[in-house]
Amino acid sequence: MTYELAIGDRSYSSWSLRGWLMFARFSIPVTPVQAAMYTPEFRAMLAGFGAARLVPALRFREGGDAVLVWDSLAMAETLAERHPDRALWPSAPRHRGLARTLVGEMHSGFTALRAACPMNLRRSYVGFAASEAVRADLARIEELWAFARRASGAEGPWLFGAYSLADVFFAPVATRIATYGLPVGEAAGAYVAAHLADPTFLEWRRAGLAEPTIQPGYDLDLPARPWPGPA
């Protein structure tokens, strides 16, 4: 079985990061197909993924038929269905339902945070002024993280004990907190640090830093600081 995953710039595309983590973090082989965003090459790449207009997009063959999936939540459920042995969701039904709920809220919400703080794995700043809307999103995210840990009795760094799709979907949130120095409490800060130190994330970030494209509009005119996690 061969999976092909369309992705954009590793340093900037938060949804590409989610798509790739679904495979890499659960040891599911995949072949990335990449193009820089906002280019003719990007549009040409997606032309091979059905009606997809954004990344990530997935294609594979099942019984001789081509299967195309270009929504990250649909992709998560497809992989969980096809690879039950990889435990992409928590094993306990009550935890699995909660994890799906958190993923659904992340998938459709937090628009203030996403608009004001696009993912940029090349930079970390001091002096970013978070708006009230961004702070409200952060407060809700911290509430969700704390609720999941209490409900699951999780030990270790991840929301439901073992790493799951819930952690995949919140990984780019952790990078935004790191990039923009966003104010979070101690427990949330520890969760962010776990993402930044995760070897699979580090592999992705290092590959992104090696890419030549610097997308315009992502860098802010603010004082920079060293990246707050392992290089």
Domain range annotation of the chain: 4-86, 93-209
93-209 is classed in which CATH architecture?
Up-down Bundle (1.20)
What single string gives the DSSP state of each residue in 100-115? HHHHHHHHH--HHHHH
Predicted pLDDT of residue 63: 87
Is the pLDDT reported for residue 39 higher than 90? yes
Using DSSP's 3-state secondary structure scheme, residue 111 falls into: helix
Predicted pLDDT of residue 154: 85
Q: For the chain, give the mean pLDDT.
A: 97
pTM above 0.95, yes or no: yes
The total of other beta-carbon atoms located within 10 Å of residue 163's CB is 20
Task: State what percent of residues in the chain have pLDDT above 90.
Answer: 97
Is the pLDDT reported for residue 1 higher than 70? no
Nearest to 179 by CA among 128, 213, 114, 129: 128
4-86 is classed in which CATH architecture?
3-Layer(aba) Sandwich (3.40)
Predicted pLDDT of residue 77: 98
Task: Round to whole Å and give the CA distance between 55 and 39.
Answer: 13
pLDDT band at 48 (very low <50, low <70, confident <90, very high): very high
The total of other beta-carbon atoms located within 10 Å of residue 16's CB is 28
Task: Round to whole Å and give the CA distance between 124 and 105.
Answer: 26
Name the residue with tokens 């270790």: 156
Give the pair of three-digit tokens for residue 18.
């989610």
Sheet holding 4-7, edge to edge: 31-34, 4-7, 57-62, 65-69
Is the pLDDT reported for residue 56 higher than 80? yes
Largest Cα–Cα distance in the chain? 54
